[in-house]
Amino acid sequence: MQNFNFYNPTRIIFGENAISELQNFISKKYKILMIYGKGSIKENGIYDQVKLALKDYNLLEFGGVEANPSYETLMKAVTIVKKEKIDFLLAVGGGSVIDGTKFISAASLFDGNAWDILSKKVEIKKAISFATVLTLPASGSEMNNGAVISRKESHEKLVFSNELVYPQFSILDPSVCTSLPKEQIANGIIDAFVHVIEQYLTFPVNSPLQDRFAESILNTLIEEGPKLFANSSDYESAGNIMWCATMALNGLIVCGVPEDWSTHMIGHELTSLTGIDHAQTLAIVLPGVLSVMKENKKIKLLQYAEKVWNIDEVDESKKINLAIEKTEKFFHFFNVKTKLSDYKVSLGVIDEIVARFEKRQLKLGERSDITSDKVREILRVRL
């Protein structure tokens, strides 16, 4: 096992009607800005539940955060936070709204050009406290300190993370899943699944507990995902999927083990250039990464085949191919297409993505050996 530093102070309040507990965790003295997305919370009743729980508070609102939250939109919220002297932010939404709120939290108290937090990785020194009401199990953003922010102007999608932007608490009520469209449930399950893969399918470092935890999440997603996909009102499955998604990216399973993240890095570029949904890009890219990098990942791929897909096969190469096939079929089960051609992505897009990685001279993967040439190979096999 490698050395590590684990810290995660986010409180999780989990269960039916948990939204009604909001007032137990926010000081009445605070002036709050509630941040949400395109307004689906007004249709599914979550907006009303939050308003009711916070009826005694000085509560302002900022709606309209888009999927792949944009710097442009978020800076409008920063203006409000500064002008209104907001003390506390409340994100009500999925990963995009929560990621956006993290950026607002940091940018509102940042001296200088807030874009530098993303582009130059300038470290923030303070941030406004915030909490979340999760409306979609997927990103894990409700219990971590990372955010992915896009800039429309330049078609960039960049990440930042800081210990100051852990949510103070997050409300996880599985019943929010009832009103979710099937596609969002599918995307959420795939997002969580690939988060685990990025922290598990690398190379072995004698970390049996972390490996078992990762396999636990994958197996539970495989078992419970189809139930929730079939019936979004299944509270029990919704709870299990929600807890899986949170655990998939809260810093726990990565303690002491290598990380990959190449699927995400390539996927982000694909989203920023084509607008394909985040989870869909993961479903496209992951099988490419696994097949192109299969020699590098051999030992863990064999373990994955056995422990996650119960593949009983002596020939190692066949075993690995079967595991990759099963992974892709798992995505297909949720009606998510996994080839670039399914999304009519042109060869030109591949060239542009490769050019971006070339320019940044960034090498991806757990061994930093996925060069821009490898990125091309990975995308080519997904045509």
* Residues at the contact surface with a second copy, assessed by CB under 8 A: 1-16, 18, 169, 206-210, 212-213, 215-217, 219-220, 223-224, 236, 239-240, 243-244, 247, 252, 255-256
What is the smallest separation between the CB atom of 21 and a second copy, expressed in angstroms? Answer: 9
In the complex with a second copy, the residue whose CB is nearer, 238 or 379, is 238
In whole angstroms, what is the distance from residue 302 CA to residue 346 CA? 33
Q: Which is nearer to a second copy, 173 or 328 (CB)?
A: 173
Tell me whether residue 126 or residue 318 sits nearer to a second copy (CB atom). 126
At closest approach, how far in Å is the CB of 171 from a second copy? 11
Q: Closest distance between a second copy and the C-beta of residue 91, in Å?
A: 18
Least separation in angstroms between residue 207's CB and a second copy is 7
Residue 32 pairs with which residues in a beta bridge? 59, 88
Which residue number, 239 or 365, has a Cβ lying nearer to a second copy? 239
Report the 3 state secondary structure along 196-261: HHHHHCCCCCCCHHHHHHHHHHHHHHHHHHHHHHHCCCCHHHHHHHHHHHHHHCCCCCCCCCCCCC
Residue placing its CB nearer to a second copy in the complex, 16 or 48: 16
The least CB distance from residue 139 to a second copy, in Å, is 17
Task: Pick between residue 118 and residue 197 the one whose CB is nearest to a second copy.
Answer: 197
The CA distance from 366 to 199, in Å, is 9
What is the distance between the alpha carbons of residues 253 and 239, in angstroms, rounded to a whole number? 20
Token representation of residue 94: 């999925």
**CA-to-CA distance for 47 and 34, rounded, in angstroms?**
10
Residue 124's φ and ψ, nearest 5 degrees, are -80, 155
Q: Specify the DSSP class assigned to residue 11.
A: E
Taking the least distance from each CB to a second copy, the nearer of 182 and 212 is 212
Ramachandran angles phi, psi of 300, nearest 5°? -75, -30
Residues in the chain: 383
For residue 230, the minimal CB distance to a second copy (Å) is 16
Distance of CA 110 to the CA centre of its chain: 25
Q: For tokens 């685990």, name the residue.
A: 196
**Shortest distance, position 185 Cβ to a second copy, whole Å:** 17
Q: Report helix, strand or coil for 114.
A: coil
Question: Which is nearer to a second copy, 252 or 282 (by Cβ)?
Answer: 252
- Are 65 and 93 in contact by the 8 Å Cβ rule? The answer is yes
Q: How far is CA 106 from the centre of its chain?
A: 19
For residue 168, the minimal CB distance to a second copy (Å) is 10
The Cα–Cα gap between 206 and 146 comes to: 27
